[in-house]
């Protein structure tokens, strides 16, 4: 630790430029920890290494707390600390690629929409989490029953959803005959660019057909694969970073040292040369997205549910249990990897080894509870697409089934010691109603599998799926998560 302190304090370079150098050509919606540790860092390195002038205007839309972050950023000239933590070294960086920051509670919705519509803006990017797209998973279209969308349809010029803001800004750009922009989704959603496009077009169509037509013709929505493990910031993280740096930074974040960004090269109005600082521009992002969502995120969700139930607070804690480590290895290698169609020369075995190492990084305090959040939005792309693949091929998917059962047991809201679990999910009430009816019993399995927006129509009709999940769920009830994982691993070895 002493070594870290010395290293950190002598090696933190301050950006040798001011915000004057930057043009806020990117408006970003959702200035959370992940974005500050990922896209802003790439853009910062570009400023460091080239004569780029690309900078961010950050926008937070939702909570009071997110307004505080915007205020804090302003107080510190838009700069903040990123602590990159490998197993044994922490590197501190001061990031200097943000030019401005806004929030509706501070600036008002209209000023933000004007900013998004201003001529200098070329890209509107977003990290708003899976549920921020307001899509009905069963139809793939905008969810017209979503309260935010109901609000935005009634008052389109003072929206609340990110999709509402984007549509309002595009409307202004269209009416004022301004240049088109690129909408760049950076969320863990499969084909995130298509999803963003569908949501925006659906909302625009309900307002003005000619606007929708202009968007279709002129605005691009590239898909991206984004990767960096960034645990939610806690007071302990901030204290530890302050100890290392010698200054207090309420906007600081800690993350792993690894980062990856694969971007579909389809920009309507120019882009930063992010490839000069490690990003990859490709024609088709789909294979990379699938790989990351099924391998990394799928494994994460598996570890989150079974880990939380097994009494593990952090992902790295789950990896100290040899059974969990083996289980997640088998899940990735035997049940996720075969479902992928990767470009030639992709070495998935090495990818898996690296993931195991990343998960085991004890410096990262990544809570199983954090990853367990919003399972209804995450399960489809992380565990269910691959389950369908195995059903079609007639191959084994016991680890996927255990992941699904683990999620079902988790959303009961009661842990293995009978303590309450703080379940956070848009469908939380639905789960609570099912559990109120059946209690902790396998009877919940079919009712949960019948939720179409998560599982679609077909899985519930497949006897094999029902049986597999029921078996795993029953075992979780009988012997608990740790034993269930251990039994599954030992069964695999006998075969
Ligand atoms: C995690 C992701 O919270 C979650 O659901 O699986 O945030 C994960 O850490 C990132 O996608 C890694 O790139």
Task: Out of 37, 224, 300, give the residue to mutate to test ligand 1, the one with the largest number of ligand atoms within 8 Å of its CB.
Answer: 300
The Cα 42–Cα 52 span in angstroms is 12
Which pairs count as long-range contacts for 10-16, CB under 8 Å and 24+ apart, including other chains? 11/91, 11/92, 12/81, 12/92, 12/93, 12/94, 12/245, 13/93, 13/94, 14/94, 14/96, 15/44, 15/47, 15/48, 15/79, 15/94, 15/95, 15/96
What Cα–Cα distance (Å) separates residue 12 from each residue in 16, 81, 96? 12, 9, 13
What is the reported pTM? 0.95
Task: Out of 39, 188, 355, give the residue to mutate to test ligand 1, the one with the largest number of ligand atoms within 8 Å of its CB.
Answer: 188
pLDDT at residue 88, rounded to an integer: 87
The Cα 307–Cα 19 span in angstroms is 44
- Give nearest CA residue, ligand 1 atom 9: 229
Closest CA to 29 of 181, 173, 141: 181
Sorted by sequence, the CB contacts under 8 Å of residue 156 that are 6+ apart come out as: 164, 167, 168, 171, 207
User: If you search the block for the tokens 């990110």, which residue do you land on?
Assistant: 162
- Assess contact for 407 and 379: CB atoms under 8 A: yes
- Assess contact for 251 and 36: CB atoms under 8 A: yes
| Dist. CA 232 → ligand 1 center (Å) | 10
Name the pairing type of β-strands 123-126 and 135-136: unpaired
Atom of ligand 1 nearest to the CA of 371: 3
pLDDT at residue 11, rounded to an integer: 61
| Dist. CA 264 → ligand 1 center (Å) | 20
pLDDT at residue 2, rounded to an integer: 34
| Dist. CA 229 → ligand 1 center (Å) | 6
- Give nearest CA residue, ligand 1 atom 1: 371
Task: Out of 371, 373, 374, 379, give the residue to mutate to test ligand 1, the one with the largest number of ligand atoms within 8 Å of its CB.
Answer: 371
pLDDT by residue (tens digit) across 391-440? 999 999 999 999 999 999 999 999 999 999 999 999 999 999 999 999 99
Token code pair at residue 245: 């740096």
* Displacement of CA 397 from its chain's centroid (Å): 25
- Give nearest CA residue, ligand 1 atom 5: 371
| Dist. CA 370 → ligand 1 center (Å) | 9
Token code pair at residue 308: 């939380």
Name the pairing type of β-strands 80-85 and 90-95: antiparallel
Quote the crossing angle between the two packed helices 322-330 and 398-410, to the nearest 10°.
Answer: 120
Q: Which residues line ligand 1 (CB under 6 A)?
A: 188, 227-229, 296-297, 300, 370-371, 378
Around Cβ 11, how many Cβ atoms within 10 Å?
Answer: 10
pLDDT by residue (tens digit) across 283-310? 999 999 999 999 999 999 999 999 999 9
| Dist. CA 25 → ligand 1 center (Å) | 27
| Dist. CA 231 → ligand 1 center (Å) | 8
| Dist. CA 365 → ligand 1 center (Å) | 13
- Assess contact for 403 and 394: CB atoms under 8 A: no
Atom of ligand 1 nearest to the CA of 300: 6
- Give nearest CA residue, ligand 1 atom 6: 297
Maximum Cα interatomic distance, the chain, rounded to a whole number of Å: 69
Task: Out of 297, 303, 307, 364, give the residue to mutate to test ligand 1, the one with the largest number of ligand atoms within 8 Å of its CB.
Answer: 297
Sorted by sequence, the CB contacts under 8 Å of residue 296 that are 6+ apart come out as: 227, 355
Produce one character per residue of 180-219: b if its CB has 16 or more CB atoms within 10 Å, e if not. Answer: bbbbbbbbbbbbbbbbbbbbbbbbbbbeeeebbebbeeeb
Atom of ligand 1 nearest to the CA of 366: 9
The Cα 345–Cα 439 span in angstroms is 49
- Assess contact for 186 and 192: CB atoms under 8 A: yes
The Cα 450–Cα 225 span in angstroms is 30
The Cα 238–Cα 65 span in angstroms is 16
- Give nearest CA residue, ligand 1 atom 4: 371
- Give nearest CA residue, ligand 1 atom 11: 227
- DSSP secondary structure letter of residue 24: E
Q: What is the pLDDT along the chain (495 residues), one digit of tens a residue?
A: 333 433 444 468 889 999 999 999 999 999 999 999 999 999 999 999 999 999 999 999 988 889 999 999 999 999 999 999 998 899 999 999 999 999 999 999 999 999 999 999 999 999 999 999 999 988 899 999 999 999 999 999 999 999 999 999 999 999 999 999 999 999 999 999 999 999 999 999 999 999 999 999 999 999 999 999 999 999 999 999 999 999 999 999 999 999 999 999 999 999 999 999 999 999 999 999 999 999 999 999 999 999 999 999 999 999 999 999 999 999 999 999 999 999 999 999 999 999 999 999 999 999 999 999 999 999 999 999 999 999 999 999 999 999 999 999 999 999 999 999 999 999 999 999 999 999 999 999 999 999 999 999 999 999 999 999 999 999 999 999 999 999 999 986 554
- Give nearest CA residue, ligand 1 atom 3: 371
pLDDT at residue 64, rounded to an integer: 81
| Dist. CA 230 → ligand 1 center (Å) | 7
The Cα 165–Cα 94 span in angstroms is 30
| Dist. CA 452 → ligand 1 center (Å) | 24
| Dist. CA 332 → ligand 1 center (Å) | 16
- Give nearest CA residue, ligand 1 atom 13: 227
pLDDT at residue 137, rounded to an integer: 85
């Amino acid at each position: 630790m002493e070594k870290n302190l010395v290293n950190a304090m002598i090696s933190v370079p301050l950006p040798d430029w001011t915000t004057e150098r930057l043009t806020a050509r990117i408006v970003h919606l959702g200035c959370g920890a992940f974005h500050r540790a990922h896209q802003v860092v790439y853009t910062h390195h570009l400023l460091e290494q080239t004569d780029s002038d690309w900078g961010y205007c950050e926008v937070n839309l939702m909570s009071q707390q997110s307004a505080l972050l915007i205020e804090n950023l302003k107080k510190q000239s838009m700069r903040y600390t990123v602590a990159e933590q490998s197993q044994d070294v922490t590197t501190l960086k001061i990031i200097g690629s943000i030019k401005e920051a806004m929030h509706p509670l501070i600036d008002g919705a209209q000023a933000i929409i004007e900013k998004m519509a201003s001529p200098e803006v070329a890209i509107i990017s977003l990290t708003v989490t899976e549920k921020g797209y307001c899509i009905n998973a069963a139809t793939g279209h905008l969810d017209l029953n979503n309260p935010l969308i109901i609000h935005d349809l009634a008052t389109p010029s003072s929206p609340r959803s990110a999709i509402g803001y984007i549509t309002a800004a595009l409307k202004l750009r269209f009416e004022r005959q301004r240049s088109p922009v690129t909408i760049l989704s950076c969320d863990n959603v499969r084909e995130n660019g298509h999803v963003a496009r569908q949501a925006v077009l659906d909302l625009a169509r309900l307002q003005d057909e000619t606007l929708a037509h202009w968007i279709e013709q002129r605005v691009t929505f590239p898909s991206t694969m984004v990767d960096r493990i960034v645990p939610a910031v806690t007071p302990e993280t901030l204290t530890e970073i302050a100890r290392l740096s010698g200054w207090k930074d309420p906007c600081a974040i800690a993350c792993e040292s690894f980062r990856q960004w694969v971007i579909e090269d389809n920009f309507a109005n120019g882009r930063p040369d992010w490839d000069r600082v490690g990003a990859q521009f490709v024609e088709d992002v789909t294979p990379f997205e699938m790989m990351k969502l099924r391998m990394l995120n799928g494994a994460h969700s598996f570890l989150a549910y079974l880990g939380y139930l097994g009494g593990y607070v952090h992902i790295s804690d789950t990896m100290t249990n040899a059974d969990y480590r083996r289980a997640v290895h088998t899940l990735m290698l035997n049940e996720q990897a075969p479902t992928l169609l990767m470009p030639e020369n992709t070495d998935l075995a090495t990818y898996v080894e690296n993931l195991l190492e990343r998960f085991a990084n004890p410096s990262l305090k990544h809570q199983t509870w954090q990853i367990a959040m919003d399972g209804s939005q995450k399960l489809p792309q992380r565990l269910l697409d691959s389950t369908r693949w195995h059903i079609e091929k007639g191959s084994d998917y016991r680890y996927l089934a255990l992941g699904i059962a683990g999620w079902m047991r988790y959303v009961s809201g009661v842990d293995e010691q009978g303590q309450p679990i703080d379940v956070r999910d848009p469908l939380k009430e639905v789960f609570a109603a099912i559990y109120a009816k059946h209690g902790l019993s396998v009877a919940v399995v079919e009712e949960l599998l019948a939720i179409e927006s998560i599982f679609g129509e077909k899985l519930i009709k497949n006897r094999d799926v029902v049986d597999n999940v029921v078996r795993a769920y029953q075992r979780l009830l009988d012997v608990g998560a740790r034993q269930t994982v251990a039994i599954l691993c030992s069964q695999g070895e006998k075969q």
